Structure 1
């Protein structure tokens, strides 16, 4: 009599409840599901509700019979306006309920747990899972360079690079981040490093979480070796078991195209996508449009919003601009000047949310004015589109410096919001320097696609990750 078949490994995936984190970790979850692993994805009630409404996520993952969602509260009502200001409150609530949640999942007799892939900003999961005998793999959803800068915060403090001494300090070179000595200035450090007081709560939290990542069994990064080689080399000195498997959205597309039959990739959007912008783009000349989006969290005050609008209009270029319903900061007021509305009607298209990957690959789009979130940066890299960067917070300051100084595929506008600067930079990437930036961006795009294709570094690293998971013993 043949022995019963051995069930596939069961992986719990636990992201921070924010769109950028959930988006990339859902793509990782789908990559693992394609490879035959069982997946339980822990989602906040708020995030899951929006994914059901706008991304039809349940129907998409129904194609994988061993995939399921586990829904938890993040401590707020579903309709609560979640802002970065509420991060620590959410974190403390989720931490308080996670140990019991893990105990329930691990003790379930029908699905023994093989490992947990946890967001690297939630390292309390390492202790909780360790008490249950379950290995944890950390996944940081930021760039390798940003992660390494965070890891080096104690070194920056020891050397005197931190704390910052004021605005006059911002253009000083930072020399205490190995491998990035010729890249970073003070203004290019993650936003929570911009403090005069080293006891700042967010600085302390990020530093602690990043250093505690070393207790995980392994580290996953959504990047590829040829994109961030110096930072990746340094990270490997601290994390020998490192998996660089990005760009995840490109990697997922490659795996889906090589499997038959296969579902299409989900959008994972928390906002209602307005596809009318694609029809608008179809009517525009090739390489004539700048796409503008500041992501899912960035808010603009009325001054900044108006300066961007004047800068875009004065550039004389066609533009597609994503303006979320909550894009303006609370308390911002004032009517939009009629001249701006008229100019937008002539050569602009404004939508609440756009299918970004599709937009960036559209032939009419020449460049991307972006907040430099890591997902958006990678999507622009894969599409081969130059960038104008206006980072908002967290890792985005580092990413924008990579774009302009390390990869030379765009311009960095951080800490400036002036219509004349917007106009000048848009015209540089769309006009006088378009060929220069387009050539560099095209070369980077080829490297990204090669890394995420069969035989590429990211493809091989994912295979290695899956084999590592398969070698683990599940809980019993």
Structure 2
């Protein structure tokens, strides 16, 4: 079965769709955005990719061979990808992590003006630009795409279940969720039932007037619904009921998982911190004997919980690699681990500030993953057939935990209560790595891996959906031109 190309021939000349792509300036969003860019360019698109200046600066700072154009190697391979940057409205030196509320207010109110100016200049300089692909968490895509007469393509980097919850924010309010939030929620179309503790952090919040909540409400309840097309980094077979509901709302395509052709390698750097090599240490360990620990690139953890997890690792006796990024507790508190912990565990564990996660979790010695339940990490762990210990911290991670532990049975909770205690941490680590039930978790994960492989294969659901998406883009471009 041959894949239809988005390339069109009009009046004897070849026409490629040209899209501007603007991700959210966070590494967890940047990774699938770059993967999608590569996939689109490999299928005939011209892409102009826009990073914020601060993200570009971090990538350059972390790279051993910095290059002002992160897509240079991709372009050398024949892909038509252009690259530029835009200000988010704040100086590069501004500490966005320490001053998160100020940063988010700027993203809400100022960033769109910089994007508007840049997109206007790009369209003026290149009339071939016909599409805007923007992360669904932006608040401005419908306004800017309408202003410059571009097909509005919304890219949702998380699970379909999470987006469906945001799409029905009004039902949560109508049913008194914010005043009676102990009731099981069974009134959202496409979701049989969900407990309040499994909603995203924004939907669990009692104060709905924070800037974070206002951004998410504006972006996902109001703006994303106006997109001409939504593409999602999920798999049809993993979320069939939810996807059926979303497809009734607007053209919606599950095209995940968005991995590069070579899982552990990429022509494009997306790292905001320098990676340390772990393979020499891992090579000395027995197969499936090491637990990988990482809580992602953005969310913070309090010092008590971090300390209890550290001592739980020590008490478990299990070998581990821990990617503990700088500023995990706070950017003004770099030394977050208990005093002397690294000396106590020097024969048991390897602690690094950052690493190539895909390379580590695909190593034969890794047997499990203690994770914050970021969506990228979940998809990557399935691909590597790793069961998970789940410790959600922020945003969609609570809902992702539900999918992993309750629905797919591929992981366990770090602690059953809100209180993190080292004894329970140690017990669950041993349970995942050594217990009889771990065999069942591994078997379930192996089944999900086959689901992902089948979806990506020729004729698989993700490949079919991607082909349909390409056809839909051409239809929308023609309609947009006809309306001008």
Shift of residue 146, structure 1, vs aligned partner = 0.9
1:177 aligns with 2:181: no
Question: Which moves more between the two structures, 439-448 or 413-422?
Answer: 413-422
8 Å contact kept, 2:303–2:336: no
Alignment partner of 1:35 out of 36, 43, 51: 43
Shift of residue 220, structure 1, vs aligned partner = 0.7
> Which position in structure 2 is the counterpart of 1:422?
425
Shift of residue 201, structure 1, vs aligned partner = 4.1
Alignment partner of 2:150 out of 134, 144, 147: 134
Question: Which moves more between the two structures, 396-405 or 56-65?
Answer: 56-65
- Secondary structure of 1:417's aligned partner: coil
| Count of matched residue positions in the alignment of Structure 1 and Structure 2 | 458
Alpha-carbon distance in 1 for matches of 2:334, 2:112: 37
Q: Which structure has more helix as a fraction of its residues?
A: 1
Alpha-carbon distance in 2 for matches of 1:408, 1:236: 26
Shift of residue 330, structure 1, vs aligned partner = 4.7
TM-score relative to the length of structure 1: 0.90
Unpaired runs of at least 5, structure 1: 258-262
8 Å contact kept, 1:404–1:410: yes
> Which position in structure 1 is the counterpart of 2:118?
101
* CA RMSD in angstroms, aligned pairs only: 2.5
8 Å contact kept, 1:164–1:196: no
1:226 aligns with 2:237: yes
Query: 1:375-386 to 2 correspondence within 5 Å?
Result: 375-386=376-387
> Which position in structure 2 is the counterpart of 1:455?
459
Query: 1:50-61 to 2 correspondence within 5 Å?
Result: 50-54=58-62, 57-61=70-74
Query: 1:203-352 to 2 correspondence within 5 Å?
Result: 203-211=213-221, 212-239=223-250, 241-249=251-259, 252-253=260-261, 264-275=266-277, 277-330=278-331, 332=333, 337=338, 340-352=341-353
The runs of at least 4 consecutive aligned structure 1 residues that moved more than 6 Å come to none
Shift of residue 52, structure 1, vs aligned partner = 3.4
Shift of residue 266, structure 1, vs aligned partner = 3.5
Alignment partner of 2:109 out of 88, 92, 98: 92
8 Å contact kept, 2:390–2:412: yes
Unpaired runs of at least 5, structure 2: 1-9
TM-score relative to the length of structure 2: 0.88
- Secondary structure of 1:145's aligned partner: helix
1:358 aligns with 2:359: yes
> Which position in structure 2 is the counterpart of 1:260?
none
Alpha-carbon distance in 1 for matches of 2:434, 2:24: 40
Alpha-carbon distance in 2 for matches of 1:137, 1:73: 22
1:195 aligns with 2:205: yes
Alpha-carbon distance in 2 for matches of 1:96, 1:37: 26
Alpha-carbon distance in 2 for matches of 1:197, 1:336: 31
